[in-house]
Homo-oligomer: A and B are copies of this chain.
């Protein structure tokens, strides 16, 4: 079957077709492959903004209680948990990924206090490394980096307290095997903190099944929480009672509104909340998470894998002379949320695609990234991308 026709068939049989229709249209004729930089806007987000404005205008301070603004971090965490394969009560939505990383690097070092190294990879997303190095130094520990995934195993020595990894590499989209690496680390007494920013909402992350200790992620990529979306964090139920939070703010207190003189950490993952919740960001994020009420995560991840495979085939069949070389694993199970290609003039190609209505992103020196969302991409979008790409590269 020719590629275009195959795309039409796949769209016709897509179990998520009804979800695609729940997103706001972008600019007419523009194809957005920037799910990895910011996901599309659910139509529900417009309603959420209108509702928030109405609550603010009419309820004012009563919104803190009557509109459940204070309960949103845990409620949203409950909605996110099944999407990332987490246990109920193990996820909260709060702060930024960087702040959440700081909290959990700190907690990991505290829980494994006989050891003084955070191990990570050179390719880990930069903010993760900055935060980890700084938090480690503040505790008299240090950050150690390996040059490639293959070196992780032999570097899990007796001084390593915590292994910090980007689940999906932000340049190549290479996706680690979460369960295998976690087991390997546990066998050596090492805790593991996963950054799922480039994975959550696009591919399976199976935190509970993989025995992960801690995880963080942003909300604005594949989770479609929008600009200003809060981030989230995960603490495995078995660790929740173990450590004081790194930042002991009132929202992590057992009774925030009792205004007690001294701090008592809330039970469970809520103790990692710090300040007053970002109500507007939470409102938009909840509109996005509510889409998952009608989505079987496995169906979404299968669609995502198919979209990626199709994108690779489309580029190779339609533009064999394009100079685009696959930088991501060919095997879908080893790819995260996007597909990356190398190109000698990647920056110019990104600009030129942008000019013909294809929004992609570029990372130095030579990477083009095509973010794919199982929630709002149609298979025909991929075909159309190929057509436009062919026009720019031949």
Contacts and interface: CB of A to CB of B under 8 A. Distances in A.
Contacts of A278: 96, 228, 230, 278, 281
Contacts of A127: 249-251, 253, 275
Range, interface on chain A: 35 or more
A386 B261 CA distance: 34
A313 interface: no
A369 B111 CA distance: 43
A351 to B, nearest CB: 12
B227 A279 contact: yes
A62 B227 contact: no
A391 interface: no
Contact of A126 (B63, B102, B135, B260): B260
A226 B56 contact: yes
Contact of A249 (B27, B98, B244): B98
A112 interface: no
A220 interface: yes
Contacts of A34: 60-61
A276 B25 contact: no
Interface stretch (A8-16, A44-52, A154-162, A204-212): A44-52
A260 to B, nearest CB: 7
Interface in A112-127: 122, 126-127
A57 interface: yes
29 contacts: A24-B53, A25-B57, A26-B58, A27-B58, A37-B60, A37-B61, A38-B56, A38-B60, A38-B63, A38-B64, A45-B56, A98-B276, A99-B249, A99-B275, A122-B261, A126-B260, A127-B250, A130-B248, A130-B250, A130-B253, A134-B247, A134-B248, A134-B263, A226-B280, A227-B279, A228-B279, A228-B280, A228-B282, A230-B278
